[in-house]
Amino acid sequence: MRRIRRSGALTLTGIALLGAPLGAQQTVHEVELPTGMAQEVVAFVNDPATLRFEGDALIPRGRTVEGPLALVGGILTVDGEVRGDVVVLNGDLILGDEGVVTGDVLVVGGSLTRGTSSRVGGLVTLYARGLPLGQEDGRLVLREDRRRDRPALYIGGSRLSIRAGTGYNRVEGLPILLGPVINTGGRYPLRFDALATFRTQSGLSLDDMGYWIRLEQALGGGPRFRLGAAAYSEVQAMEGRGVADLESSLATLLFHRDLRDYFQNEGWQAYLDMTALEAPVTARLTYRLEDHYEVAVGDPWTLLRRDSEWRPNPLVGRGTLSSLEAELEVDNRNNPENPSDGWYLNASIRRGLDGDLEIPSYRQSPTGPELAPTPVSTSSTLATLDLRRHARVDPVSDLRLRVLISGALDRKPLPPQWQSALGGEGSLPGYPRFSLDCGARSQPVLVTEGERDRTTYPFYGCDRTALFQAEYRGELSFDLDLSPDGESWDSWSWWPNVDLTVAWLVFLDAGRGWSFTPGGADTETLADVGAGFLLGKLGFYWAYPLNGEDRDVNFFVRLQYRF
């Protein structure tokens, strides 16, 4: 795309980045290709020097194609090597595990799927909106987009959204979000969401309905900005790291085992997002004013263990809290979904500004005295650091390291809804869930609600935790040939794109917690080792604890990579 690079550098910020060679991790996301650049791209496709495909096309493994190369309408699968630039218009690009593009990649009106070790020598640029294309005398032409002739009140991206919330859980059952989602067109779109949350646990009652309303405006400049505000009433997980929403949902639905604890969160927030174009850096600044309180456990349907009692939700700091949070993310990994090389950093700091929080009164035994409500500091500072290093060892193996630290900077007790706990498949899989919770679940307490007592826990976990994880992974190379006799599998273009890459791994984890909360206690350092094998993202693992009293092997299944 050398011609595009010269003529488009002054009209499109994203393409201007093509002026310098960048690594494959440099990916620019845009909404719409400007008209001037669209003409240049069409000219590039029509150039006799460009190898052009229409419909699905495959560059098989071991094949080298001299570029430039273009595909219009369909799916381009690159399992071999393309020496030059690649343009895909109104279609999708799939780079296989051994797929290589030595030049730049431009995808307009489609998606990009990348294999574990695929490589791109230049910049990857993605435009969400496709082009109105036609043909005249065998040449590709740019048609007039009729949407531009419609009245100014036309809403090009409006739809009615019906989707599940964060997952099936023991408080809401399945939260169902329903409402309009509106995205305006243009280079700097406006987004508006107005979603009502219906909870199957309450029978879709309007009295127990939550909501999420958001207004967000994209802004221009060198870095991309998004300015937004949202109002909400939602059931929120106290700690969502470690396990995916789907994993927690299936554990709840199938095995009567909810992996998370929850609280009710109502209020509003205003935020400013920044995405740098020249570097893989994003930042976010958020102000929140919220009301927090605990939620009762319901009785949603489960496949197994229907007669078992659900684990109670712990107490939280009830009341109003205002806070300011700054978050920074740096991600230069070669593949964010399954990286084998690069760094990832997510750092945040959240400062309580004002409010009125307190732990409600409770009793430590049925006959014990009722303890008075306990005030909770609203000026605490919570900091979190998630640092990961992915290092390629050889073409089929890599080493992965992670340090995760979360907790109070000022040694003040955190509100329980800000605390963290370790243990279980998401952190220390050799130990049960909440093994390192600084004693929060060692002595349940009783809270009086009306004329009944409810069993709960006085807090959620530790005021500070540290986790170290190391993993060595290698791929197993073998041929899986399911094609008919006498036919080449590469000649079939309709098989599903399912990742069944087989890999093996060994891992080590270690963690510890500290408490500044009255009644809490620092934990010991726990460590485990383990091994497993993967079929794509589907993983089968065995973990063994290195210390503690109960030292049994734990077998578990994951639907995503550990980190």
In 67-158, DSSP assigns E strands to: 69-78, 81-83, 86-95, 100-101, 105-108, 112-114, 119-120, 124-127, 133-136, 139-142
- Give Cβ neighbours of residue 561 (< 8 Å, ≥ 6 apart): 338, 534, 537, 539
Quote the DSSP letter at residue 335. -
Given a contact cutoff of 8 angstroms between Cβ atoms, the answer to whether 530 and 506 are in contact is: yes
For the chain (563 residues), the mean pLDDT of every run of 10, in chain order, is 36 34 55 77 89 86 88 89 92 90 90 86 86 80 55 50 87 93 79 93 81 92 86 94 92 95 97 86 96 93 94 96 97 82 95 95 90 93 97 90 96 95 96 96 90 92 98 78 48 48 94 96 97 93 92 94 92
Q: How far apart are CA 509 and CA 545, in angstroms?
A: 9
Q: Does the predicted model carry a pTM greater than 0.85?
A: no
Q: How far apart are CA 284 and CA 227, in angstroms?
A: 10
Q: How far apart are CA 101 and CA 96, in angstroms?
A: 11
- 3-class secondary structure for 199-266? EHHHCCCHHHCEEEEEEEEEECCCCEEEEEEEEEEEEEECCCCCCCHHHHHHHHHHHCCCCCCEEEEE
Ordered domains of the chain (ranges, CATH): 2-145 (no CATH), 159-558 (2.40.160.50)
pLDDT at 204: 67
Helix, strand, or coil (residue 286): strand
Q: How far apart are CA 512 and CA 523, in angstroms?
A: 6
pLDDT at 337: 77
Given a contact cutoff of 8 angstroms between Cβ atoms, the answer to whether 116 and 99 are in contact is: no
pLDDT at 157: 61
Cis peptide before 432 (omega within 30 of 0): no
Q: Which of 444, 402, 421, 427 is nearest to 523 (CA)?
A: 421
Q: How far apart are CA 347 and CA 41, in angstroms?
A: 39
Q: Which of 62, 14, 74 is nearest to 479 (CA)?
A: 62
pLDDT at 146: 40
Structure tokens given for 291: 């009301």
pLDDT at 35: 67
**How many CB atoms lie under 10 A from the CB of residue 199?**
22
pLDDT at 186: 65
Ordered DSSP codes for 405-424: EEEESSSPPPPGGG-B-B-B
Q: How far apart are CA 433 and CA 252, in angstroms?
A: 14
Structure tokens given for 189: 């779109």
